[in-house]
Amino acid sequence: MTDKTGMAGHVRQRGEPIRILLVDDHPVVRAGLRAVLESADHLKVVAEASTAAEALAAVDRLNSHDDGPDVVVMDIELGEGTTGIEATESLGRSHPELPVLIVSTYGAVSDVQAALAAGALGYLLKDASPDQLRDAVVKAAAGTWILPADLARRALGSGGGQEPALSPREIDILEQLALGRTNQQIAAGLFISQATVKTHLNHIFGKLGVGNRTEAVTAARARRLIRG
């Protein structure tokens, strides 16, 4: 039996470790993150990258052998003038079902909002505890949205006003939700997989600060993000 269908071309067997692509431009930081993550038997770093281009190449290379990662752990600042935001956007276009967890030194509202708008499934600071990091990776690999409460309060506008922007595809899905469509119907109508729909829903719930489909539609209507 399989534990889940891999989001990027890899079918993870039950009991197999979660496969991680680690993207950070500092080798020492990557080594530290790898040590923390691989201290747990259920986590395995299968590739490392220091730039957006290297990250994309690593995913393609691994997928070509049916060994794609289950989750990407991404820094904000990368080598060769690229950023984790750009890398996340690029991965979202080529591998929309691959979850990205941003792990950064910086917790500025603008960084968090930009990461979420780019399609990241979550955001964690590098001063998080080893247990918090490992738990966040497990949740991200399962498609669960991750944002610590202190970052959420700032990034989602409770006191600052600005909210992370929803992407055009997320607006499309909200409009489908408002029509009462199921995940299967949304996937068929938008020519995407149900797993992709679920990933988008997690992003939408996080950005709107809601917990379910009904609340998402209500919030979207109240903020005039969708018609009706």
pLDDT in tens, 118-170: 889 889 999 999 999 999 999 999 888 888 877 776 666 544 445 567 777 88
Nearest to 136 by CA among 101, 182, 106, 176: 101
pLDDT tens figures, 2-50: 444 344 455 666 678 999 999 999 999 999 999 999 999 999 999 999 9
Q: How confident is the model at residue 182 (pLDDT cuts 50, 70, 90)?
A: very high
Query: Which range has the worst mean pLDDT, 43-52, 72-81, 110-119, 152-161?
Result: 152-161
Q: With 90 as the cut, is the pLDDT of residue 72 above it?
A: yes
From start to end of the chain, where are the E strands? 2-5, 11-13, 18-23, 43-49, 71-74, 100-104, 122-125
What integer pLDDT is reported at residue 118 of this predicted model? 85
What integer pLDDT is reported at residue 155 of this predicted model? 65
What integer pLDDT is reported at residue 123 of this predicted model? 93
What integer pLDDT is reported at residue 71 of this predicted model? 97
Nearest to 100 by CA among 64, 135, 136, 132: 136
Report pTM: 0.69
Q: How confident is the model at residue 205 (pLDDT cuts 50, 70, 90)?
A: confident
Amino acid present at 102: I
Nearest to 68 by CA among 106, 94, 29: 94
What integer pLDDT is reported at residue 207 of this predicted model? 82
